[in-house]
Structure 1
């Protein structure tokens, strides 16, 4: 299962806005760009995620799509704890070794805490 439709970042202009104006945070496998929206209002729009995987990671679409599915599943499990009103693009960095789901989940959680978009957590937690 993927992300719910309201949490998907689909339009090219949205991706480019995040690339141009968003802050970035890096880990060993991911580069995460975050563009803050208006999350101070009473009913903010939900946080939207986009995933970018280059053909440098793998020439095979099967491998790239499997990585996307694993990342989306990890994000979906963390959605209730993420601050609303953001646009996030996650780029998978080129690495020689494969990652499993648990490693993706742990690394994404650390990046979300590092970027201060995780409810109730700050950088000092890790």
Structure 2
């Protein structure tokens, strides 16, 4: 990818991706390494080159405090040895939702959240690794259209998840989703 070097208070980004440049712009630099002076448009540069397509779409993320509280208060718990799934079926729980929402659109959504608390690990690196693994399993299921719409889902990790690999986490998430009848 590249690396950063600070020289005399200027930030210089050395890119080692020769395919991004034409031969004319890379001329004069050894081994295709192209220094690019980066000042104010570093965000623009990275948004063009390093776009992450491996995330759950924004419209499928559970983000509002109101929605989290609804899932926690009125949802159904399903658990196994190292993961817990709290699910709320929107069609059966329309009484709890705000009146200003259009009921037809509201029932046809699927929103997800992933929680890995400090009880799992004090290390943010380990917690984020678990969260990314859980998110990737569900993202692939979403991509293949294997999840029913009309649910709010909240995945909560337990401490035992640290000892598990991606395949075991994937298997358990699919098992929990099938128990709640969300998996097609």
Q: Under a length normalisation based on structure 1, what TM-score does the superposition of the two structures give?
A: 0.85
Indicate the SS of the match to 2:137.
helix
Q: Establish whether residue 108 from structure 1 lines up as the match of residue 173 from structure 2.
A: yes
Measured in 1, the distance between the counterparts of 2:172 and 2:80 equals 7
How many residue pairs get aligned? The number is 118
Q: C-alpha root-mean-square deviation of aligned residues, in Å?
A: 1.9
Q: Is the 8 A contact 1:2 1:69 kept in 2?
A: no
Q: Is the 8 A contact 2:130 2:161 kept in 1?
A: no
- Unpaired stretches in structure 2, ≥5 consecutive residues: 1-53, 93-102
1:79-126 CA-partner distances (Å, limit 9, x unpaired): 21111010011100122752111111110001111111112xxxxxxx
2:73 is aligned, of 4, 20, 29, to 20
Flag as ranges the 4+ runs of structure 1 deviating above 6 A. Answer: none
- Unpaired stretches in structure 1, ≥5 consecutive residues: 120-126
Return the structure number with greater relative CO, CA threshold 8 A, min gap 6: 1
Q: Is the 8 A contact 1:37 1:87 kept in 2?
A: yes
Distance 1:37 1:56, change over 3 A: same
1:21-47 CA-partner distances (Å, limit 9, x unpaired): 0011001111101000139x8764331
Distance 1:85 1:61, change over 3 A: same
Aligned to 2:118: 55
Q: Under a length normalisation based on structure 2, what TM-score does the superposition of the two structures give?
A: 0.60
Please tell me whether Structure 1 or Structure 2 has the larger radius of gyration of its CA atoms. 2
